[in-house]
Amino acid sequence: MSALLTPSRITSLQNRVERLVERFKPWSWLWPPMAFAAGLGSFFLVDRQQWLGVVLALGLLFAWLLLLSEGLISRWLAKRGHPTLPQGVTTFIAQMIHQETLFFTLPFILITTVWNSGQTLFAALVVGMAALSIIDPLYYKLAGRWRSLYFIFHAQCVFLVVLVILPIMLHLTTRQSLLLALVITVLVALPSFWHLLNKRSLKDWCLFFGLTMVLAYAAWFGRIWVPPASLWMTSSALSPAFNVQQRQPQGSIALTPQALQANGLYVYTAIRAPRGLSETIYHAWHHNGTLIDLVELSINGGREQGYRAWSQKLNFPADPSGNWRIDIMTDGGQRLGLLRFNVSDAPGEASIADGHINPSGLSGLNLRRFIPGRSSDVEASNGN
């Protein structure tokens, strides 16, 4: 092995890499749109051509392994007196991998973001990171001067790639993917704080451990702001009746207190998921900001128009007037979508539940949920 890694051969290999990088640089502007197109194609073709998503995901994982091992390889070569790649070359390679990651995952984030929620901030963060990765002066300043921020930037890219590819490759649920992505991100982000501490002191070790726990808790607490990159609510509707055989909402009423008490209300959602993925979602009913019902439903991926699921609320409070919100949530606490309506006796203020299926974003199972003090409160069903 040592005979193969002679200084002359390593120097020759280094020169070849440098020449290859110099030849590629004038064409590097093509890399982001190609990665974006690959991500867009993977998102929409993953059901019909699942191999495409798997191949792209494997390639992305391989690139990340190279990036993560670059520091170890450089130190190993330096200890043995071998030359290493110049900082500019390694930073350029890292930039290409960051661009590949950000622009590949960007379609998943943009399409699955619930834009009238806090997820907009997360999507804006990813867009900002993608823009920074293609602005060379800012990116190289980040990599050279602000190493802590650079580690955090890198950790966020790791979070994105794990969040997106695990449901595609391993059919993990969004909850499993989110938990694993958070754990890996915390581990990758730790080097950004490591050099700030004196590891010789027990006090500093305890502080470092506490900082790790705070970082992990903050990441988990903010999960509701993270779009479920593998799930997408394709359509939704509110209606006073429902055709179970055709899985179609029906009827139209003004949502007055009397109408709700007499008819109840159906909420219909269609959720798109990759083929082979089984998920648990929830319809969370809120009245004037207070959660009053949580309905569990199971969905399966593979249907292009989305897996159709619905729930019916039968009993309402004595005075149901006010603002209502139905959050469509994953088992991991990520929001898929939300529906709002207003209940009122005043003319023109009551929302209309007309059964119209509105597009969202760009043998059924029957079960009953019981709330203490009330019976037969909510019925939930779903079907493909």
Amino acid sitting at position 82 = H
Amino acid sitting at position 348 = G
When comparing pLDDT for 167 and 272, which is higher?
Answer: 272
When comparing pLDDT for 189 and 195, which is higher?
Answer: 189
Min mean pLDDT across 16-30, 92-106, 289-303 is at 16-30
191 contacts: CB under 8 Å, gap ≥ 6: 151
When comparing pLDDT for 320 and 93, which is higher?
Answer: 320
Q: State the chain's mean pLDDT as an integer.
A: 76
For residue 327, the 8-state DSSP code is: E
Min mean pLDDT across 48-57, 72-81, 90-99, 123-132 is at 48-57
- Residue 257, pLDDT > 70, answer yes
**pLDDT tens digits, one per residue of 160-193:** 888 887 777 777 788 888 888 888 777 766 665 5
Please list the residues that pair with 309 across neighbouring strands: 269, 382
Min mean pLDDT across 9-23, 120-134, 361-375 is at 361-375
Amino acid sitting at position 178 = L
**pLDDT tens digits, one per residue of 46-78:** 544 455 555 655 666 666 666 566 666 666 666
When comparing pLDDT for 356 and 27, which is higher?
Answer: 356
Report how many helices (DSSP H) and strands (DSSP E) the chain contains, helices first: 11, 14
Query: CB–CB of 197/82 below 8 Å?
Result: no
- Residue 376, pLDDT > 50, answer no
DSSP state string for 16-38: HHHHHHHHHGGGGGGHHHHHHHH
Cα–Cα distance, 206 to 211 (Å, whole number): 8
**pLDDT tens digits, one per residue of 30-45:** 777 877 777 776 666 6
Count Cβ atoms below 10 Å from residue 312 Cβ, excluding itself.
21
Task: With 0.85 as the threshold, say if the pTM is over it.
Answer: no
Q: How many residues does the chain have?
A: 384
Measured CA angle at 300 (ends 44, 285), to 5 deg: 100
Dihedral angle at the C-alpha atoms of 77, 81, 85, 88, nearest 10 degrees? 120
pLDDT of residue 56: 57
Q: On the CB side of 27, how many CA atoms lie within 13 Å of its CA?
A: 6
**What domains does the chain contain, in order, with CATH numbers?**
7-225 (no CATH), 232-383 (2.60.40.1930)
Stated as kind and residue range, the H or E segment containing 124 is helix 119-134
Amino acid sitting at position 197 = L
When comparing pLDDT for 141 and 47, which is higher?
Answer: 141
Signed CA dihedral, 207, 210, 215, 221: sign only: negative
- Residue 370, pLDDT > 90, answer no
- Report residue 365's pLDDT band, with 50, 70 and 90 as the boundaries: very low
